[in-house]
Structures are given as C-alpha cells and as structure tokens.
Structure 1
Amino acid sequence: MERLLAPDMLPVTLAGLGVLLLLLIGVVVLLMRQSATADVSQRLETYTGGGRVQERSNEPITRQAIERIDSVVARSKQGSSIKQELARADLKLTVAEFIGLKLGAALLGVVFGFILGRASPAAQIGSAIVGAVVFSFIPNIYVNVRAAQRLKAFNNQLGDVITMMANALRGGYSFLQTLDMVAREAPEPAATEFRRVVQEVGLGRSTEEALQNLLRRVPSDDLDLLITAVSIQMEVGGNLAQILDTIGHTIRERVRIKGEISTLTAQGRISSWIITGLPIGLAMFITVVNPTYMAPLFTFGFPPEAWCCMPVTSLFMIALGYFAIQKIIDIEV
C-alpha cells in the first residue's frame, strides 16, 4: 500500500482511478439512455400500482436483467424511500441508476481525496475514505434541493391554482373537469402534478386515492388543507367554490408572509454559508497548494492532539455554529 501511495506511483494510481471512473460513468449513461426509451408498460406501472405488464420477448437480455435488479432493489425499504424522493424531485431515474450515480460520486471522492491528502500515505488513505463518504451524499443533496425547490414553486402557485379551480366550479365544471383544466392552464410544476391526478383517475383510481398520491409526491401543508376540504365536501356536500376561495386567500397570505420572512433572514443564511464554507475551503486550498504546511495536522503520533483534537474540534465548532444560525433564522408560519 505504501508503494502504491508513493509520490512516484501517484500518477499511475490516479490514472487507474480515472479509468474506473470513466467506465462507471459510461455504465450510468447507458442505463439512463435505456431508461429514457422504456416501453409503455413501464410507464403505466406508476398508475397501475404494481402489476407489471408481461415483458416483451424481443427486449435485450441485459435490459431485462437490469429491470429485474431494479425491481428487487425498489421493493426494499431503502429503495422505496429513494423512489419516493426521486418522484418528489421529478427525476426520470430508477433506483438502480441513482445508486450507480452514488457509487460514481464516491469513486470521484476517492480520487479527490488522493489528490488532497498527498502530503503522506496515511493522509491519502484518510482523505480517500472521507472523500468517498462525503461525495456519495452529493446525489442525495441534489435530489433534496431539487425537491425543495419544486415544493416551494408548487406552494407559490397553489393559491392561484385554487382560485382557478373555484372559478371553474362556478362556471359549471365538474371537479374532474376542473382538475383537467388546471393541468392544461396552470404553470409548472402544478400542471404536471395535476395532470398525473387526472391520468390516475382515468386509469381507474378513485379521486381520493389520486389526491392522496399527489400529497405523497408533494408533501405540502397547504395542499393537505385543500385535499382535506375536497374530501369533506365529497362526503357531506357544500359550496366547494366558496370553501376554495377562503383556502386560496389563506394560502396566498401565508406565501406573502413567508416571502417577507425570507427577505429579512437572507443575511443570516448567507452568513451561515460563509462561516461554514470559508475555513473548510481555505484549509483545502492550502493543502492543495502547500501540502507540507498542513501535514502536521494529519500526522499520526502520540500525543494525538495535532491530528485528532484540532481538526475534529474545529469541524464540530463549525457545524455547531451553522446549526445555531439555522435554528435562529428558522421561523415557522
């Protein structure tokens, strides 16, 4: 291992890791291309609730094997959670493809760790392990950020969508016709989500089930209020248009107040990002430019104050400051 991590063997090691990374990226791209050309039976699986249409005999064997692996992984508890997160982010990826992206990101983290910790072989091993763990969470972070942005956009549009629904009901439309009109007239992502509701109802599901599936894809408190009102009206009756007007006004006020709070807390959010990222980024920059200057912090020996207490305590204090600021600026509406 020490021979492999020696300075004269570093280019060979990095070249080998680079080849492995390119091969893994090629496999992931191939999977994504095949997923983009999936047949109609695969697309209908979302609405039929599990029963898969019999596979065509002329499909490639590799594609059938990949589908079987993905179906097994997706049925697990972790796979179901990943599938739900991908649906909330509206990413056209299977669970197996997402796991492949995580493995590729982890391999990229190993390469980055080797480059960052080239001051000593021990530092290279530690940096490669940390880099693999940290980089493996990058796809998850991207999915969560995309889902949060999509949820925020949906909440901002929901007040106007409810007003559109109330006006359509007053004009004589049925509730399903109203949903179809929203799917055609509303902006994204509201149009896509309500279009899925209409498609699920058209494929045989009840309106209540389709709306509950919508709530699982878009976990919004405002949407939950709308679905609850619609469900109660379907059971006991009442003027749904008037109820929707009241709900729409409440949601618009909440969106306005949230916007004002976001403006007032913008400085705190930026401060938390700078305070967290600046020391870590500066330490990484100095390590890349002058590895020997930072080497004492990662030199194993006794007593372990240098390589253990200082970095660990610094990271702990940085994380503590970040979460403290986030807690201060987190104001519930």
Structure 2
Amino acid sequence: MPTWIYLVILVGCAALGYCVFQIANAMLDREKEALRARLDSFNAAAMPAGSENFLKSDQVKHSWWVKLLLFREGWAESLWKMIRKAKVGMSLGSFIMLSVTLGLFGGLLAKLLGWSFLAQVGVALAFLLAPGWWVHRKAAQRAAKFEEQFPEALDLIGRSLKAGHTFTSGMTMVAQEFDDPMREEFKLTIEEINFGGHLHDALDNLADRLDTPDLLFFVASVKIQSETGGKLTEIMDSISYLIRERAKLKGKVAALSAEGRYSGYVMFLLPPLMLGVLMFLNPRYMSVLFDSELGHYLLYASGGLLLAGMAVIKRMVDIRV
C-alpha cells in the first residue's frame, strides 16, 4: 500500500481515539458538570448579565487521569496557569490530550517514513511539546501587549486622581477606554471589587493573571500607599516614567544584541543548508551519513551540538532589564 494511505489511516485513528477519550471523560465528569451548571445558574441569577463569576477559585480540581499523566499536582497547576494567561479556550485535560495525541502522531509518522528509533523519539517529543510552546508564546505576546499599554493606562489613572476621582474610578476609565488585554483585565479587577472583593486581593489576582514585572511593581506600590499614605498621583507618574525608561533601555539592549542573535541564527541554519546543498549536488557523497549507523550517530551528535550552541547564544544575548 502507498505511504499516504497509512498516513490517512493514522490520522483517522488518532482523531477517533481523541473523540472517544473526550466522550469517556465527559461521562466520568457528568456529576461535576451538573453541579457546575447549578452554580452557574445561581450566579447568573445573583449577578448582572455579562459579569464574571468571582466566587469561583482559580485552584481547579483536575481529573484523576490528569494528575496521573503529570505525576505531580504542581505541574498541573503550572500548566493551568499558563493556559489561563494565554486566554486559550481549552481545558487542561483537552490540552494534555492534544499534546499526547500529537506526540503519538509524530512518532508513528517518523516510523512510517522509516526513520531510526532516535529520530522517532525526537519527532515525538517535538510534536508533544509543540502545543506547550504555542501557549507559552501566546501568553508572552499577551503580556507584552499589556506592558505596551500600561504606561498610558497609568497616565489616565493619574489624571483622573488629579481631577478628584477615586482610584477605582480611574481603573474603570481604563477598562472603558483601552483595548484588550488591558480592558479585559481591568474590567475583571473592577468587577471583583464591586462584588465585594478587597482592593488588595483584586490587585493580587490581576498580577497573578499576567505576571509582568511592571504590573507587580504597580500592585506593590498601591498596596504600600494604601497602608502608609502618600500622594497616589505622584506614584502613578513615577511608575509611568519608570516603565517608559525601562522600555527605552530594553530597546537599546535589543538593538545592541541583535548582531549576536542573528549570528546565532546563521550558525544554526548554515550546517543544515550546506547539508541540503551537498545532497542536491552529490547525493552519493553524503549518503554515508544516512546509510550507515556511524553516520546516524554523527547526525544526532551534530544536531545536539547545534541545539546546545543555539541555547548558549540565546542565553548570552538575553539581557534582562
């Protein structure tokens, strides 16, 4: 049979297995879903339309099979926090199942292509970790956009304080005037305060949802000012000025370290490109690397050294400001 038929069968089996697993998991969690629906109906009746349910805890009780796959509760909580920060509409169980399915698919695909065992393991690990890398990148992009909007939000809060408004009124203006993610996060914080939450707890939850250094500094400053006193308008102006200066310094550091970063990219891509060119020009000359066991070991060692070198260069040019 042709190889593409095996690939189609493999994809169909993987999709069927994923659907069966989701159905079985839904049946096991039927009682929990019923209880959650009752709580949601109660909160919908007790709260205005469109508001968030702040009675729920962020400490999600994960399914038994999630804990079994992750071996430790701390890993489950870390993954769940990363998914929440990225605002991915996916449960932890679905995320883990997607990762495992992709890992199995990658390993079987490499096996059907006739690759060696180490190559199969490498492809399976790459497919397994791909969803986590995507979620981490999405969370980082969201946090970066928030940091870009944050100085202007602080300026707006400071101007509202100078005009005689309260601190929460200034945060409400930010939630009304800015785009996501600033609007979404400040809206959740204001609604948490309006529904009876303490200001300190609401700010702590805001910092926990994003986990950016600038936001942590802002939360700490507001909490200290509420306990010791002082002019909050000056604090807002100082934090805004500090964040802008940090952004300028980060831009200068990125410009100075650009040569090192792109040198790392060139050094990482040059050996595979040269290998492809030599294989195109003289296939018999490079066939020893693919037809012999020693050649396979050389390829694995070269790939490992390339990855290690790229990691070292990335660490050298990653200057924290």
Residue 164 of structure 1 deviates from its aligned partner by 0.9
2:162 pairs with 1:170: yes
Tell me the distance in 2 between the aligned counterparts of 1:13 and 1:175: 63
Distance verdict in 2 for CA 1:319–1:176, change over 3 Å: same
Tell me the distance in 2 between the aligned counterparts of 1:230 and 1:40: 37
Tell me the distance in 1 between the aligned counterparts of 2:128 and 2:278: 24
TM-score, scaled relative to structure 2: 0.77
Contact 2:168 2:190 in 1 (8 A): yes
Residue 50 of structure 1 deviates from its aligned partner by 6.3
Note the residue ranges of structure 2 that are not aligned, 5 or more in a row. Answer: 26-35, 44-51
Distance verdict in 2 for CA 1:193–1:51, change over 3 Å: closer
Other-structure match for 1:160? 152
Residue 324 of structure 1 deviates from its aligned partner by 2.8
The 5 Å alignment of 1:1-333 reads: 10=3, 13-24=6-17, 41=39, 47-49=55-57, 76-114=73-111, 117-118=113-114, 123-280=115-272, 296-297=288-289, 305-308=294-297, 310-333=298-321
Note the residue ranges of structure 1 that are not aligned, 5 or more in a row. Answer: 1-7, 32-37, 53-66
Contact 2:268 2:306 in 1 (8 A): yes
Contact 2:192 2:202 in 1 (8 A): yes
Per-residue CA deviation, residues 31-83 of structure 1 (Å, 9 max, x unaligned), is 9xxxxxx969469666532699xxxxxxxxxxxxxx96699789932221111
Distance verdict in 2 for CA 1:234–1:97, change over 3 Å: same
Distance verdict in 2 for CA 1:51–1:144, change over 3 Å: closer
Residue 204 of structure 1 deviates from its aligned partner by 2.8
Other-structure match for 1:35? none
Residue 90 of structure 1 deviates from its aligned partner by 1.5
Give % identity. Answer: 26
Contact 2:7 2:109 in 1 (8 A): no
- The amino acid across from 1:15 in the alignment is V
Per-residue CA deviation, residues 281-325 of structure 1 (Å, 9 max, x unaligned), is 7768999xx999877546675xxx4332x1232123212321232
- The amino acid across from 1:322 in the alignment is M
Distance verdict in 2 for CA 1:165–1:276, change over 3 Å: same
Contact 1:180 1:195 in 2 (8 A): yes
Other-structure match for 1:61? none
Which consecutive aligned stretches of 4+ in structure 1 deviate over 4 angstroms post-superposition? Answer: 8-12, 24-31, 38-47, 67-75, 280-287, 290-296, 298-301
